Amino acid sequence: MWERTGGRLGKAYLVFVFFVLYAPILYLIAFSFNAGDTMYAWEGFSLDWYRELLNDERLLVIALNTLVIALASSILATVVGTAGALLIGMSEARRRRETLLLLNNVLLVSPDVQIGISFLLLFTLAGIALGEGSVLLAHVAFSVPIVVLMVLPQVEKMPKTLLDAAYDLGASHRDVLFRVILPYITPGILAGFFMALTYSFDDFAVTFFVTGGGFSTLPVEIYSRARRGVSLELNALSALLFLLSFAFAFGYYWIQRREMRPRSEARR
Amino acid sequence: MLGKIRILFWITYGVWLAAFVVLPILLVLYQSLHDVHGRWTLENFFRFFSPVYLRMAGDSLWYAFWITFLSLVVAYPAALALVRLASRDFWLVALILPSWVNLLLKAYAFLGILSEHGPVNALVSLVGLGPVPLLFTDLGFVLVSVYIFIPFMILPIFNAVRAIPAELIDAARDLGASPLQVVRRVIWPLSLPGVRAGVQATFIPALSLFMITRLIAGNRVITLGTAIEQHFLVTGDWGMGSAIAVVLLLLMSASVIFARRSFFAAPVGGE
């Protein structure tokens, strides 16, 4: 790297940015242990808000809903996205490839509000009732493109000779798909699944538009409660969700690391 | 290759593309050309060019500009400092991690932090400026939005700066460039693709963050996103909401094309 002058200044600045980024999160968690009920006056340590959270049946049901939607939509999105990645990655016509990739990325660059209202229009037109069904479909829909992008590099890395060899040895198309291609691209599929899981778990804006009155996910519920003002039960909930988010992030990081390792070893 | 199995891929992925990418865009276009009674009309677009909506669009662009600019100002030096660390990958993950925390929870945290008795106002009072209203103001909205976008700005810039060959910087130093000149003449131009990616990842979402405006700015700030939400969920004027969405769509396409063209292009070397 380049000259060292200013290195200390840079480090001090990084510490500052680091502090700024983490302060709100730590602040929120700290006050989840507050005995009082405001987010600015500390009145001693207590676990009351966690107790209240665990007794809040409505919230527990919503948490379960969120988890089920996330798992189900990620599995479906992984299947569709893997098909898409194979289609794009193995297509020989450059023009078609680029068109498909462009269409694939539309949902990734569109603002959430845009996606939310366009899906709302779609479901209304198609006569799909707003509720868990529409939320599930919407989550599958916006997770597919990210799965494609996670799997695609693996498909492109796959040597053509591998497939030729399998065919020469008499493998059927099915065998090639299930015993050669899918095992080869598994790291990408796992990474895609994990990303889809986080996307689904995190989404507020799209869900907000396509959910009816009776069905809710955690982000939507947090929004409606936060609009009513500060309640430290929300802080307790966020503390738990932070743990989960961090677990997701580390899970994803770990998969990426594992995926990187064989490649760098091969280079050596 | 893969023979008939490919047809299965086309069916699954093709249906998804048609139903959830192409059709929704067409539906928004269709809806924007209809009034509340379902009649074909251009009225919604004429209404958009009335002073009320133009002002709102102008405000929205203005806020998005400041949010993007301030995020860049905070993130750029951080990305530079990050590249020079020995354990930079670890610190990068540490800086990106907050972006994995749900946006609404982070916004909610600021309800406490920016409140009249919160820590920010305690600090401000310590300096003797007295409590400053932050919650339910446009300043609060910009602050929280910048906070949310910093990680999304750091990542692409970091990647671009990391890709700059160390030899280039050594050469500049050998030729007598000061550290400032190195940053201005070598690093900045070569990091522009990253800056462009970061700006793109910030600007358009900043136009549509309706939940932050609702939570932090009360109903004082109305962005394009807030207006769309309002028309769809409150007033029920889907045509007008869709017309604004079409404008947002056009802005988005323009920014993608704009960012690819020479506006930000590096004077030396290019991409």
Per-residue pLDDT reduced to its tens digit, B62-118: 999 999 999 999 999 999 999 988 888 888 888 888 888 888 889 999 998 988 888
Between chains, do B115 and A112 touch, taking CB under 8 Å as contact?
no
Q: How far is B93 from chain A (nearest CA, A)?
A: 8
**Residue among B17, B28, B248 minimizing CB distance to A103:** B17
Residue A260, pLDDT score: 62
Burial letters A220-241, b for 16+ CB under 10 A, else e: bbbbebbeeebbbbbbbbbbeb
Per-residue pLDDT in tens (0 to 9) along chain B, 271 residues: 688 888 999 999 999 999 999 999 999 999 999 988 888 999 999 999 999 999 999 999 999 999 999 999 999 999 999 998 888 888 888 888 888 888 888 999 999 898 888 888 888 888 877 788 888 888 999 999 999 999 999 999 999 999 999 889 889 989 988 888 888 899 999 999 999 989 988 998 898 888 888 888 877 788 899 999 999 999 999 999 999 999 999 988 888 777 666 444 444 333 3
Give the pair of three-digit tokens for residue B99: 């972006």
Residue A259, pLDDT score: 65
Between chains, do A20 and B147 touch, taking CB under 8 Å as contact?
yes
Between chains, do A245 and B249 touch, taking CB under 8 Å as contact?
no
**Residue among B93, B215, B232 minimizing CB distance to A117:** B232
The residues near B143 (Cβ < 8 Å, ≥ 6 apart) are B110, B114, B134
Cα distances (angstroms) measured from residue B203 to each of A100, A199, B206, B252: 25, 20, 5, 9
∠ CA A197-A200-A203, rounded to 5°: 145
**Residue among B9, B17, B242 minimizing CB distance to A86:** B9
Least confident of A82-86, A147-151, B192-196, B254-258: B254-258
Q: How far is A17 from chain B (nearest CA, A)?
A: 7
Between chains, do B170 and A2 touch, taking CB under 8 Å as contact?
yes
Within 10 angstroms of residue A47's Cβ, the number of other Cβ atoms is: 13
Considering only the C-alpha atoms of chain A, give the largest distance between any 2 of them, rounded to a whole number of Å: 75
CA distance A106 to A128: 23
Q: Does B214 touch chain A (CB under 8 A)?
A: yes
Backbone angles phi, psi at B34, to 5 degrees: -125, 145
Contact B21, A108 (CB under 8 A): no
Among residues of chain A, what percentage have pLDDT more than 90? 69
Per-residue pLDDT reduced to its tens digit, A8-56: 888 899 999 999 999 999 999 999 999 988 888 888 999 999 999 999 9
Chain B, 124 to 143: residues with Cβ < 8 Å from chain A are: none
Between chains, do A117 and B118 touch, taking CB under 8 Å as contact?
no
Between chains, do B215 and A223 touch, taking CB under 8 Å as contact?
yes
Which of A94, A74, A177, A141 minimizes the C-alpha distance to B8? A177
Q: Measured on CA atoms in the order B263, B264, B269, B271, is the torsion positive or negative? A: negative
Within 10 angstroms of residue B69's Cβ, the number of other Cβ atoms is: 14
Chain A, 22 to 81: residues with Cβ < 8 Å from chain B are: 22-25, 27-28, 31, 38-41, 79-81
Residue B131, pLDDT score: 80
Between chains, do A1 and B166 touch, taking CB under 8 Å as contact?
yes
Please name each of the domains of chain B with its CATH number: 50-260 (1.10.3720.10)
ipTM entry: 0.87
Under DSSP, is residue A45 helix (H, G, I), strand (E, B) or coil? strand
Between chains, do B147 and A21 touch, taking CB under 8 Å as contact?
yes
Give A204's contacts in chain B (Cβ within 8 Å): 102-104, 211
Give A198's contacts in chain B (Cβ within 8 Å): 100
**Residue among B103, B182, B205 minimizing CB distance to A111:** B205
Cα distances (angstroms) measured from residue B130 to each of B102, B119, B121, B141: 32, 13, 8, 20
